[in-house]
Chain A
Amino acid sequence: MEQRPVRIAVDIGGTFTDLQILDARHGRVVAWKTPTTPADPSEGLLIGVQEAAERFGFALADVGLILHGTTIATNAVLERKLARGVLLTTAGFEDVLEITRHFRRDLYGLAPDPLPCLIGRDLRFGVPERIRADGSVEIPLGELAPVLERLKAAKPEAIAIGLLHAYVNPAHELALRDAVQAALPGIPVSISSEISPEIREYERLSTTVLNAVLMPVVKTYLEKLEARLGEGGFSPRVFLVQSNGGMCSLARAAAQPARLLLSGPSGGALAAERLSRRLSRPNLVAVDMGGTSFDVSVVQDHRIGLVTQGEVDRLPVRLPMVEMRTIGAGGGSIAAVDASGRLTAGPRSAGARPGPVCYGRGGTLPTVTDANAVLGRFDPDFFLGGAMALDVAAARDAMAQHVGAPLALTVEAAAEGVLRVTNVQLASAVRLSLFEKGLDPREFALLSFGGAGGLHATEVADELGITEVILPREPGTLSAYGILFSELAQDLARSRLLTVEPASLPEIEATIAALREEATARLIADGVPEDQRATEIAADLRYHGQAFELLVPWPEAPNLDALLQRFHATHKARFSYAAEDEKVEIVTLRMTAIGRLPKPAETSGTAAEKRAAPGTRKVSQGGVSASWPVWRRETLHAEDVIQGPAIVEEAFATHVISAGWQAKLDPEGALIARRVA
């Protein structure tokens, strides 16, 4: 479908825009970084592409594909830079959006804040109508003139429509949308039966409202982006990364921007999936640790897991997304000792500003990064490739004052304590991610990336009993690398409550046929040729009476017994029991429509020509200061063996190889550490 040789993945983060470029003419993958331009991120995108073209010698006209990861939707929600929305819902239920599910998360707090609610009570209007749970109409859609008048007077920039039981029968939502579009032409409308057609009204409303108020924001951005296409022969096809890890066209993103909401971390998960194949490691647990957060995703049998619901800023988003556990732990997490003598690291963070004490930007409270600095794990003169000098003395003072003194520990012991406490939190997050699937950490390798990942990786692995750690090349732009090799993917779903038994087969088959038809239509619309199309089917299954379903892939041959066996086995693995004599229900049938993008061959990483010679540095551990070897990653030769304890440095990351570990370069360029003692 695309003949031009250059494909570029762009991951726009808060500080940097990361690019990974694959040129099919030689199969080499190269990375580039340029500052993000927050006012209009598409500007930075274009600058980055121009810089890369110059640096790596390709023409803008050679670029056939741009695969674009963006946090624009997520940031718009976090910063509340959203459209003025109105919600139309079944009369009598206008407050469901504000009532939420109403349980609290902080049991012992005395000063709670309400959950966010994106459309206030004055802009939520009731519509006379009622559909029943079986899809029958109890009250037909009534007189709409009064509500349309209110709607006009409210001057909305976006309209969300969510009616009870619309997931079974969307007729009223469709009719209401027609009426609204006729009355207010040009205002974007989102309806719940299209955005999240599944049972549970609050979660469906929340997702639909998010989609609605994001539409104008995302549309504006995409228009700016499109305006830049065509400049200087630059006219690639552009696709956006969705939360499910797949790409979608700009038109689809404009209509369903909620599907972009959790796309930020999905690049990292895609990279993990890609590396799992490149490195022949079917089971990986991938951890991405930066300044403020730690993201965990799981690759099992070379596949990343998907879940059907997530949240952004405590608002449920019920759309398929890469399964990801995020905890607020990073280099900026602040260490403290509380009144009962408990040492804590986080959840408070020094963030980017003022940042850790050692950055010398006004931070006064010791952080995890300061703990690493105190122990001598950083080269104070070569931090960020020499771009920032570290004030280790200030970090020591802060650590002594806030942690050492209250616990009567030396400053080094205090710093080690902070790291230990942090590593345990990281390990707990990893364990919970694996536990939820009934998996044993010892069967996984730990893939660690992000600016701070390598400092903690071998120690976290030890906590978990994991014996292999993979430190990929370019750990700072790995998300873009993941995006570079992803596919077009669209998720379709139909909620159908059916017992898994032969009598249900006709309806199951009819539903799958309908899903397949829609999937094909969408792939055709996106210009995917027939030989590049694929579909995958899965079902949400549960025991009769349960509220939560397990996502089970559909067996190759449509065989209900095989499906049931797969469900019982998954249930047993996850929850320690299976009830094989009980009825199993299908709740939702799902289909993923996949459009394969051509996969140009990627060449392997290159090692240095000659053996490297490590330097040394004094590093403190267990109360002893010792000389540790310090290796430069780019000088590593394929035969070099790094014996822990040791440090490996590269421009934007520092890695610690603990005692008892041994690391070597893999032919792919990844640094592989293994427990040897």
Chain B
Amino acid sequence: MLGPIEIEVIRNALNAAAAEMDVTVWRTSRSTIVRELLDYSTAVFDAEGWNLAQSARIPGHLNSMSHALREILANFVPASEWNEGDVVITNDPYCGGQHLPDIVAYKPVYHEGRRIAFVGTLCHHIDVGGLAAGSYAAKATEIFQEGLRIPPVKVLDRGVRNDGIWAMIRQNIRKPDLLLGDLSSQLASLDVGAAALLRLARRFGAEAMIEAGNRILDMSEAGMRAAIAAMPDGTYEFTDFLDDDGIDIGKPIRLHVALTIKGDEASVDLSGCSPQAAGPTNATLASTNSAVMFALMCCADSSMHISAGCYRPITVIAPEGLVVNARHPAPVAHRVAVTHRLLGTMNGALHQAVPKLIPAAYYGNSYVTTFQTVAETREVLVEIEIGGSGAHPSKDGVNAYASGMHNNSNIPIEMIEAQLPLTILRYALREGSGGEGRFRGGLGLLREWRIDSPRCFFTSNMDRFDHPPYGLAGGGPAALGQLVLRRDGVETPIPPKTDNLPLGRGDVVRLETSGGGGFGPAEERPAAAREHDKAMGYL
């Protein structure tokens, strides 16, 4: 049996493998959404598909990848059909995935004739076809409109590329060189991860690798149980809303959580959520579980090893047909909105259990804007902006801070302008957008794009335009979002869920994002903090 020291040795090496995979994607990828915005994740799994180690990228991806791999093994490519040198990819939310732009790739690792592990890489691709560029259509009513669906399929079969799949992808999407370039980076990162695991396996042997995996999962489970046990027993409920689904405009979507803590286990009942929506504001279980797990994992000791073992003491009840467990063929492009709001709802419930840990709501939204410029060439820019973080029980929120389910960087203005007929006119903190309180919420952002090409189609998919990020313990809510078109000096609002709005040269789109909610009563804010806010022009 391995001792605690050997376990730590192997654990450390698994983390390093995920980090090596991460560097490979970062340094070799082609599209701005992967290489600048950093919308990708890498992870290592045991032979049964349980996540053992993660890179420090997107929590929403990372805690869905085990689910997807387990689903593939159970229903699509059973264990007996995998071979050395295979890579299976899919992007299908109804086969364990999240939404179509996210293509996930898995590779098995063999040693001493046994499968000892999988490595996996997920990238958000710039476009997989469908009715709007970026495959983030706000008005789809069936998944068939959202883009190319790739069921779990071997893109590499014993090391040989299936050129038919490659060609079929190329034929169905808007920027094939970027997507296939990024997919090559994914495959390269799998090779790098597999090589790292083999180094380890040659040293410790297959049996020890499998034992270490089990022990790491147990250790994470113990950490998660300790965190839950520290919460008082009881049932905590919270409700928040998404504005709408883009089809039934103004009809809010309810997210409701009943979190029951009992001893060292947690049960999360989502039966009180709205039925699935007509538009793409829906999630499948991979997405929903990742939000619930993430909320609870954040409450643990910072030294807890993050792995699928953390999921064990947590039960999720999510009946099919609800917005948190949509039934085929519901559209799901904007699943991230559901997960952001679900995380906020979980945090609202957790605040009642562990009030010293949980911050007020962050902006709770991925501000997705897509510009498809049409001149001599067709160019696609997908931007995902963020807002401010929620005030914490002990400090102010952070201005412009990627929070919660996603973790995106911005795309440098100079990089955009060097590559597309677009000009950024302004990029600034949005004054007054943070919630008031003893501790102030972080500020959101303001970004303006000007169209420099004769034609451009604009698509946006965002939320928090009716329902602001909440404050806690008497703190105030943050500002609502704003999306505006300025044409010939006249400003008109753009609906936050818009597909293919035709724009022309000189048109300006302005986005103002929400800040974070405040914490504690505003009257209790110290005078010095108010003075500082004023001097900095944050109010």
* Chain A residues close to B by CB (< 8 Å): 92-96, 98-114, 120-122, 132-133, 138, 164-165, 167, 199-202, 336, 338-344, 407, 409, 416-417, 420-421, 424-425, 428, 431-432, 435-436, 497, 543, 545-548, 571, 574-577, 579
Contact = CB atoms under 8 A, between A and B. Distances in A.
Nearest to B420: A133
Interface string B1-44: 00111001101110110011001101111111001101000000
Contacts of B221: 340
A420 B16 CA distance: 16
B31 A133 contact: no
A342 B9 CA distance: 11
Interface in B353-367: 357-359
Nearest to A420: B5
Interface stretch (B80-88, B408-416, B456-464): B408-416
B405 to A, nearest CB: 10
B192 A576 contact: yes
Interface stretch (B98-106, B176-184, B490-498): B176-184
A132 B36 contact: no
A463 to B, nearest CB: 8
Contacts of B23: 435-436
Interface of B: 3-5, 8-9, 11-13, 15-16, 19-20, 23-24, 26-32, 35-36, 38, 56-57, 59, 62, 177-178, 181, 184-185, 187-188, 191-192, 195, 219-223, 226-227, 294, 297-306, 357-359, 386, 389, 392, 394-395, 398-403, 407-410, 412-415, 417-418, 423, 425-429, 445, 448, 535-538
Nearest to B426: A92
The residue in B4, B31, B298, B423 that gathers the most chain A C-beta atoms within 10 A of its C-beta is B4
Contact of A201 (B29, B177, B389, B414): B414
A344 B27 CA distance: 30
A597 B303 CA distance: 50
Contact of A99 (B187, B357, B429): B429
The residue in B19, B27, B301 that gathers the most chain A C-beta atoms within 10 A of its C-beta is B27
A133 to B, nearest CB: 4
A435 B18 CA distance: 13
Contacts of A571: 28
Given A113-B398, A343-B5, 19 more contacts: A94-B428, A101-B410, A102-B401, A103-B402, A103-B408, A105-B56, A107-B306, A108-B294, A113-B395, A339-B223, A417-B8, A424-B13, A425-B12, A543-B28, A547-B29, A548-B26, A575-B28, A577-B187, A579-B184
A93 B399 contact: no
A675 to B, nearest CB: 15
A424 B35 contact: no
Contacts of A436: 23
Given A338-B304, A341-B4, A420 B413 contact: no
Nearest to A416: B5
B427 A93 contact: yes
Nearest to A121: B536
A617 B235 CA distance: 61
A340 B220 contact: yes
28 contacts: A92-B426, A92-B448, A96-B413, A102-B408, A102-B409, A108-B294, A109-B298, A110-B298, A110-B358, A110-B392, A121-B429, A121-B536, A122-B535, A122-B536, A164-B413, A165-B417, A199-B414, A339-B227, A339-B300, A416-B5, A545-B31, A545-B181, A546-B29, A547-B35, A547-B36, A548-B35, A575-B24, A575-B28
Contact of A121 (B16, B177, B394, B537): B537
Contacts of B297: 108
A102 B298 contact: no
A104 B403 contact: yes
A544 B59 CA distance: 30
B532 to A, nearest CB: 9
Contact of B427 (A99, A200, A416, A579): A99
B413 A102 contact: no
The residue in B28, B32, B303 that gathers the most chain A C-beta atoms within 10 A of its C-beta is B28
Contacts of A336: 303
A114 B223 CA distance: 28
B320 to A, nearest CB: 29
A112 B223 contact: no
A441 B219 CA distance: 31
A121 B538 contact: yes
A133 B306 CA distance: 43
Contact of B414 (A108, A111, A200, A409): A200
Given A93-B413, A201-B413, A547-B29, A102 B402 contact: yes
Nearest to A441: B199
Given A108-B297, A436-B23, A577-B184, A102 B386 contact: yes
A437 B35 CA distance: 19
Contacts of A339: 222-223, 226-227, 300-301, 303-304
Given A424-B9, A431-B16, A577-B184, A107 B222 contact: no
A224 B523 CA distance: 51
Contact of B5 (A200, A417, A575): A417
B303 A344 contact: yes
A577 B27 CA distance: 12
A133 B303 contact: no
B26 A428 contact: no
Contacts of A201: 412-414
A326 B106 CA distance: 32
A202 B28 CA distance: 21
Given A93-B413, A110-B298, A545-B181, A435 B392 contact: no
Contacts of B29: 546-547
A546 B429 contact: no
Nearest to A423: B9
B302 A103 contact: no
A105 B38 CA distance: 12
Contacts of A167: 414
A99 B427 CA distance: 9
Closest 8 CB pairs of A and B: A340-B223, A545-B30, A547-B35, A339-B226, A92-B426, A338-B303, A133-B418, A133-B417
Contacts of B417: 132-133, 165
The residue in B19, B32, B181, B297 that gathers the most chain A C-beta atoms within 10 A of its C-beta is B181
A342 B535 CA distance: 46
A108 B343 CA distance: 13
A99 B16 CA distance: 29
B274 to A, nearest CB: 27
B537 A110 contact: no
Contacts of B418: 133, 199, 497
A358 to B, nearest CB: 22
B4 A92 contact: no
B41 to A, nearest CB: 10
Nearest to A122: B535
Contacts of B220: 340
A602 B460 CA distance: 68
Contact of B38 (A96, A103, A202, A435): A103
Nearest to A130: B423
A575 B392 contact: no
Contact of A110 (B184, B188, B305, B359): B359
A112 B19 contact: no
Nearest to A138: B423
Nearest to A109: B302
Contacts of B11: 342
B5 A95 contact: no
Contacts of A164: 413-414
B399 A111 contact: no
Contacts of A575: 24, 27-28, 185, 188, 192
A350 to B, nearest CB: 17
A577 B423 CA distance: 35
B184 to A, nearest CB: 7
Given A93-B426, A108-B59, A545 B177 contact: yes
A338 B223 contact: yes
Nearest to B30: A545
A96 B4 contact: no
